[in-house]
Amino acid sequence: MDSGRVLIETLGEYEDWTVLAVDERPVPWRSVARVLRPAVQRTIEQVWRRGESVEVEPTRRSRGAWDTEIVCASPVFGTDGRVYAVQVCSAAARDHLPDPYSVVALDYSSQRRTIQLADNPFGWALPEGRSQWTVPEAFRHVRRCDGSMELIMQTRDPREGMRWAGDVTACVDGTPRRYHLALRNGAGTELTRWRGLLHDVTEFLAPEPASVDTAAFAALGRQRPGRSYLVLADVEKVRLIRWVTDPIPGIQWKGVVDDRDTPHPDDVARILAEVDRGVRAQETSGRVNGIRLRRNGGGWTVVDAVGSLVPTADSPMLLLVELTVTGYSDDPDPTEP
């Protein structure tokens, strides 16, 4: 081993494991064999199988030479207790071993659009004490993610064995930090489950300024103060992806309390029917009035919605939706237990 710190992702099958970081350099999907010698590779497998740290003392190598490194390999556990990564640190002496990277394992469900952290080493104030975010909640903290649209498209229509990696600059608790995010999905029933790692690389790479699309969304949002709100949604199921303005206040969004749709069931049917009609007619915009959105504590906030298709190279996949609050309703909730 020629490096002091190495991060190996074990998100997929054994033969697909790769290196994500070497010392001060993110190196997504690099071959483990190109970075670590066979003896250290075997240590990684031991850590993954046992779920325990392994320390290797210096040992005699061929031709009488001695391996003078102490190698310590430790697991990073995912939400299900499986090892999502192995951190390898080496030095000439035990008291010279570098600290492991600041990294957390996570799960992303592209079906439910929720992100769950296995741990919270960054000290983030999680929303309302929960261990998960909805995607729109998470996007509120993102200042830059150059591959965000690619990620949205890839997770929207996943195929088996996909992977994605990129840098994210986010400001969760007032200070911008730069993270490297790596995700892999599964197969069969786990096609929409993405195991991932979020690695804080701020000590090596400075946080990036807001991207053009983020700045444009922010400017667009500032033009609509008051009772008008903008959100990006996917076309197929009209699921919210990213708020452009602040969210409508007081709404019980899906995934925050439970998995019920936020609109009234009758309005869900109207929304899907209008989107389907507009796509079939190749219209670029549509409108649905009087949508009832479930409020925290009961009742409904009533909004009118105007959606515009976002142009893409393929068939339309994203909608920019403007929601205007028009009133409130105490209609019964048919989904109440």
DSSP of 55-108, one letter per residue? EE---B-GGG-B---EEEEEEEE-TTS-EEEEEEEEESSGGGPPPPP-EEEEEE
Q: What is the CA radius of gyration of the chain?
A: 23
Q: What is the pLDDT of residues 264-296, one digit of tens each?
A: 999 999 999 998 888 888 888 889 999 999 999
The structure tokens listed for 143 are 């200042």
E strand intervals along 235-317: 240-243, 285-294, 300-310
Q: Does domain 5-99 have CATH number 3.90.230.10?
A: no
Domain with CATH 3.30.450.20 in the chain: 5-99, 104-200, 212-329
Note the CATH number of domain 212-329.
Answer: 3.30.450.20
- Amino acid 29 reads W
Q: Does domain 104-200 have CATH number 3.40.50.1000?
A: no
Q: What is the pLDDT of residues 65-118, one digit of tens each?
A: 556 678 999 999 999 999 999 999 988 878 888 889 999 999 999 888 899 999
- Amino acid 322 reads E
In contact, 259 and 239? CB cutoff 8 Å = no
Assign residue 314 a region: left if phi > 0, alpha if psi is -120 to 50, beta otherwise?
Answer: beta
The structure tokens listed for 183 are 């995700």
| pLDDT at residue 80, rounded to an integer | 92
Contacts of 157 (CB under 8 A, 6+ apart): none
Count CB neighbours of 114 within 10 A: 20
| pLDDT at residue 133, rounded to an integer | 85
In contact, 333 and 247? CB cutoff 8 Å = no
Which range has highest mean pLDDT (47-61, 147-161, 322-336)?
322-336
What element of type H or E holds 272?
helix 265-280
**Mean model confidence pLDDT for the chain:** 86
For residue 18, name the pLDDT band (cuts at 50, 70, 90): very high
| Cα–Cα dist 113/157, whole Å | 13
For residue 5, name the pLDDT band (cuts at 50, 70, 90): very high
| Cα–Cα dist 279/307, whole Å | 12
Q: What is the pLDDT of residues 194-248, one digit of tens each?
A: 999 999 999 889 998 876 556 555 555 555 555 688 888 888 888 888 888 888 9
| Cα–Cα dist 77/106, whole Å | 9
DSSP 110-163: TTTTEEEES--TT----GGG-SEEEHHHHHTTEEE-TTHHHHHHHHHS--TT-E
Q: What is the pLDDT of residues 68-78, one digit of tens each?
A: 678 999 999 99
Distance from the Cα of residue 199 to its chain's centroid: 12
Beta strand 163-171 with 240-243 is unpaired
